[in-house]
Amino acid sequence: MVSAQQPEGVSPQPTAATARYELLTLGDELLLGLTANGHLTFIGGQLGRRGALLQRNITITDEADAIVAQFRESWARSNVVITTGGLGPTCDDRTREAIAEVLGQKLVFEPTIEKAIEERFARFGRKMTANNLKQAYVFERGEVLPNANGTAPGLWVEQDGRVLVMLPGPPNELQPMFIDQVVPRLARLGLLTEREAYVQLRTAGIGESALETKLQPIFDRHGAGLSVAFCAHQGAVDCRVSSPTGALSYAQLEAVAGECAQLLEDDFVCYGHDTLAHVCAELLRTQEKRIAVVETATGGLLSNAFSESCGACKFFAGGVVCCSNDAKMQLLDVPECLLLQHGAVSDEAAVAMVTGAAENLAADYALAVTGFAGGATGAGGNPVGTIFIALFSPIGVWSKKLSYPGPRSTVKVRAVNAALDWLRRELLRVQRGGVVPVRRTGVMQ
Amino acid sequence: MVSAQQPEGVSPQPTAATARYELLTLGDELLLGLTANGHLTFIGGQLGRRGALLQRNITITDEADAIVAQFRESWARSNVVITTGGLGPTCDDRTREAIAEVLGQKLVFEPTIEKAIEERFARFGRKMTANNLKQAYVFERGEVLPNANGTAPGLWVEQDGRVLVMLPGPPNELQPMFIDQVVPRLARLGLLTEREAYVQLRTAGIGESALETKLQPIFDRHGAGLSVAFCAHQGAVDCRVSSPTGALSYAQLEAVAGECAQLLEDDFVCYGHDTLAHVCAELLRTQEKRIAVVETATGGLLSNAFSESCGACKFFAGGVVCCSNDAKMQLLDVPECLLLQHGAVSDEAAVAMVTGAAENLAADYALAVTGFAGGATGAGGNPVGTIFIALFSPIGVWSKKLSYPGPRSTVKVRAVNAALDWLRRELLRVQRGGVVPVRRTGVMQ
């Protein structure tokens, strides 16, 4: 990159590790709390994968003055400025003009964009209104990033030793454009690493500090060139190993991760970003087994986790959501006397539910979740946050009692993850041909 | 407020409508895309409800230097600066010290906070570690906002004609603190309105532009003192009427909203922020009826929408998630020949599913959703995004075909909302004692 005007406080040849990235997210709907700022999550995550830390995200209103002032400031101190939103056809889409003013560039009409917009409208049988032509104006010295999923193209400018990337607001337009067009360009300029900058291990069933303690001897052996970061989710902890100084190659990072995975045994879930449900789905597909679900406290979210997988029919036998005792009896043949004696939130009920689900849905495995996720205090001496989960497998049926603090939404996610993790461990054990206990129905506390 | 040093470009006596609010959200986990910035959504929404527009949200790293520089800049141009995060016990919680430096204030130890933290640890049977004492340091000239759900209290400072509010990062600590303590204080200073600044009408089943066209004559009658804003969700559109100049009183705004609601008839869902599922739940409770659900494409999300209501057992008979034909046959007695002849994604299948759900779960009403939400192209000539929904009521059974563009997550939410809205309309019709057709089973396109 030419460095006519060097950004302050950054090296003349910025790398992924040293480049200053700022993200400007535009739109009153973000500041009014009407829409979550998913662009920060997405772009921050994508930059992180390629070795760069987003320095700052600024959300401002759609006013041209505010955009001009903020862009001027961000441009002066950054190597890369990324903007989202404000590229559409309506009168409150003012970003393009505001930024052209700061860059001292003219906007010029690009007939090929007009044609692409017209074709898109024709494909959906609609007529293009005149205000759409605004989207065909581009910087005189810049490039166009074609938009496969919408009308407003992205824009790319290299100027003053800096890069400007302007992206449309809708996530289904922005995200593929960023991955397919922006990341490779930034990598070619050396502003992102050529491949993933870290190897991520996803773990479950082990706390963050216990995980760190267990893996520390491995990290110590590899010295200061190795950088380690942990991120706890609800019941899962990710560990990322990287080498910002380049002391360790990617292959060496993979080797370190491999050592960790081996040491962690079944607490290791996968490399990368797959969900627990996806990992279970793959194990079920491999073993040609099917899973059934019955849930009360999680309201349908455990079933939904499985049904997110493509081709879920193949391994997901079905789910039943039943907060009433009637539904448990009607659909799953849970005996009424059992519910009356032990209550619907009990080990006994969980075992009866999971067995009923497996048998009525002709599944090889089944999961049950029952409990009190929030709202009124639980009955039968069980406080809110008490969850019973049960697992049915070809070699046995078990239940266990868990307790989670926090609001309803947290309890639900943790219960879903606990159930999925239990299934995952059982599937691994069967796959290994491990200890096969005699078939029994019982309660495991 | 004393105005020793007047913020630039803002009125000497700021009101909710003129006050400049900035939000600083702190934390690498936001910039790395590990955590969504829910604080922006929550605080932006809460300020909006009380007549203030958040001017700017800035997310920066946990580095003390970055915090000092950004806070200095935001403080200079704002009436109110709100910070989130960085108040905890660990070494990367540096916000308190960085901001004290800019304010020229000392941090002083507050023994009552130490005591509160100790008591909280004791209540959960844990021992307080020494690093927790950091949270007992407060500004020498400021107030403490007690934290009912965590250890780090919030902090409130009035200085230089401005207000600083520092809030802890966990949402379940921040949100009640903001609503119960911060909003009333800001309202007392005249920086927020004393009550909600707008009346919101929630609508469904009508597009944004059609809604505007329909309501415009009402708005025109009330003149320029009335301000109107629309916000489209997935299948629902909110309309907010307000009067930033104060030309219309709150009672007058309520009257305007009442006119709109009457004109909209059943397209009007509710005032305020209730969900479609909650509105349906209230209608079901009033009518003492129960609903059953069967869903494929929505994977469990329709059931989950009902089970979010407290005491859902009373009106939610249960849900079945069945992507396989086997499950439809086993749990709901859907005839195999029907599935083979018409396919599982068809009007006929939707009607059979919804009837099976109502009868097997002994429910008065039932909803079915079947279709292709994403992934592989749909079978039987139905493209991805094709959804059939069916409604069972005491007076009939109907189905309809819908088609939604966009990614899987969007299709799922729109299908859930379409099903809920249909049920809501039917419940309203029954409640009014409207036209009662003869009982029939049929297909309505």
Q: Which CATH number fits domain A21-188: 3.40.630.190, 3.40.50.970, 3.40.980.10, 1.10.10.10?
A: 3.40.980.10
The answer to whether the CB of A425 falls within 8 A of the CB of A266 is yes
Three-state DSSP at A439 gives coil
- Of the candidates A231, A293, A324, the beta carbon closest to that of B317 is on A324
Contacts of B319 in chain A (CB under 8 A): 300, 319-322
CA-CA-CA-CA dihedral for B193, B199, B202, B203, to nearest 10: -150
**Using the beta-carbon criterion (under 8 Å), do B322 and A321 form an inter-chain contact?**
no
Q: How far is CA A138 from the centre of its chain?
A: 33
Instruction: Mark the ranges of chain A whose per-residue pLDDT is less than 70.
Output: 1-12, 90-92, 376-380, 434-445
| Candidate from A7-11, A133-137, B247-251, B409-413 with smallest mean pLDDT | A7-11
Contacts of A58 in chain B (CB under 8 A): 56-59
- Residue given tokens 């049929």 in the structure block: B442
Is some CB atom of chain B closer than 8 A to the CB atom of A125? no
- Residue given tokens 């307000």 in the structure block: B242
Contacts of B324 in chain A (CB under 8 A): 313, 316-318
pLDDT tens track for A392-404: 999 899 999 999 8
Is some CB atom of chain A closer than 8 A to the CB atom of B343? no
Q: Which CATH superfamily is domain A276-432 in?
A: CinA-like (3.90.950.20)
Tell me the CATH class for B198-271: alpha beta
Residue B99 confidence class, pLDDT cut points 50, 70, 90: very high
pLDDT, position A142: 95
The answer to whether the CB of B145 falls within 8 A of the CB of B182 is yes
A-contacting residues of B 390-419, CB under 8 Å? 406-408, 410
- Of the candidates B45, B60, B323, the beta carbon closest to that of A313 is on B323
Contacts of A37 in chain B (CB under 8 A): 36-37, 40-41, 57
CATH 3.30.70.2860 in chain A is located at: 198-271
pLDDT, position B444: 45
Compute the C-alpha angle A441/A405/A370, nearest 5°.
30
CATH 3.40.980.10 in chain B is located at: 21-188
pLDDT surpassing 70 at residue B350: yes
**Using the beta-carbon criterion (under 8 Å), do B53 and A61 form an inter-chain contact?**
yes
Contacts of B312 in chain A (CB under 8 A): 299, 323
Q: Report which secondary-structure segment, H or E, holds B138.
A: strand B137-139
CATH 3.90.950.20 in chain B is located at: 276-432
> Measured between alpha carbons, how far is B37 from B233 in angstroms, rounded to an integer?
19
The answer to whether the CB of A312 falls within 8 A of the CB of A306 is yes
**Using the beta-carbon criterion (under 8 Å), do A54 and B48 form an inter-chain contact?**
no
In the predicted model, what is the mean pLDDT of residues B399-414?
A: 90
**Using the beta-carbon criterion (under 8 Å), do B321 and A307 form an inter-chain contact?**
yes
> Measured between alpha carbons, how far is A432 from A429 in angstroms, rounded to an integer?
5
Contacts of B407 in chain A (CB under 8 A): 172
Per residue in B65-99, is it b (16+ CB within 10 Å) or e — as a string? ebbbebbeebbebbbbbbbbbbbbbeeebbbbebb
Q: Which residue of B has its CA nearest to A294?
A: B320
Candidates A22, A26, A32: best to mutate against B (most CBs of B within 10 A) is A32
Distance from CA of A187 to the nearest CA of B (A): 18
pLDDT, position A91: 62
- Residue given tokens 């279709």 in the structure block: B371
Of the CA atoms within 13 Å of residue A269, those in its CB half-sphere come to: 29
pLDDT surpassing 70 at residue B52: yes
**Using the beta-carbon criterion (under 8 Å), do A299 and B304 form an inter-chain contact?**
yes
Whole-complex ipTM = 0.86
| Candidate from B143-147, B162-166, B225-229, B372-376 with smallest mean pLDDT | B372-376
pLDDT tens track for B189-198: 999 999 899 9
Is some CB atom of chain A closer than 8 A to the CB atom of B232? no
Work out the mean pLDDT of chain B and round it to a whole number: 89
pLDDT surpassing 80 at residue B434: no
pLDDT, position B91: 61
The answer to whether the CB of B279 falls within 8 A of the CB of B201 is no
- Tell me which residue of B160, B136, B9, B11 sits closest to B71, measured CA to CA: B160
B-contacting residues of A 346-375, CB under 8 Å? 360-362, 375
In the predicted model, what is the mean pLDDT of residues B120-143?
A: 85
Residue B443 confidence class, pLDDT cut points 50, 70, 90: very low
Residue B431 confidence class, pLDDT cut points 50, 70, 90: confident
Describe chain A by its helix, strand, coil percentages, rounded to 5: 40, 20, 35
pLDDT surpassing 60 at residue B439: no
pLDDT tens track for B25-45: 998 889 999 889 999 999 999
pLDDT tens track for B209-231: 889 999 999 999 998 899 998 88
* Cβ within 8 Å of residue B183, ≥6 positions away: B46, B50, B192
Q: Is the pTM of this model over 0.90?
A: no
Identify the top-confidence range among B113-122, B285-294, B322-331, B375-384.
B285-294
Three-state DSSP at A24 gives strand
**Using the beta-carbon criterion (under 8 Å), do A40 and B37 form an inter-chain contact?**
yes
Residue B204 confidence class, pLDDT cut points 50, 70, 90: very high
Q: What are phi and psi of B282, to 5 degrees?
A: -65, -40
The answer to whether the CB of B23 falls within 8 A of the CB of B54 is yes
Three-state DSSP at A419 gives helix
Is some CB atom of chain B closer than 8 A to the CB atom of A60? yes
Distance from CA of A80 to the nearest CA of B (A): 15
pLDDT surpassing 50 at residue B98: yes
Is some CB atom of chain A closer than 8 A to the CB atom of B189? no
pLDDT, position A124: 74
pLDDT, position A323: 83
pLDDT, position A382: 79
- Of the candidates B46, B324, B375, the beta carbon closest to that of A318 is on B324
Residue B135 confidence class, pLDDT cut points 50, 70, 90: confident
Describe chain B by its helix, strand, coil percentages, rounded to 5: 40, 20, 35
> Measured between alpha carbons, how far is B54 from B40 in angstroms, rounded to an integer?
9
Residue B92 confidence class, pLDDT cut points 50, 70, 90: low
pLDDT tens track for B155-177: 999 999 999 999 998 888 999 99
**Using the beta-carbon criterion (under 8 Å), do B41 and A35 form an inter-chain contact?**
yes
Contacts of A296 in chain B (CB under 8 A): 307
Candidates A47, A67, A78, A304: best to mutate against B (most CBs of B within 10 A) is A304
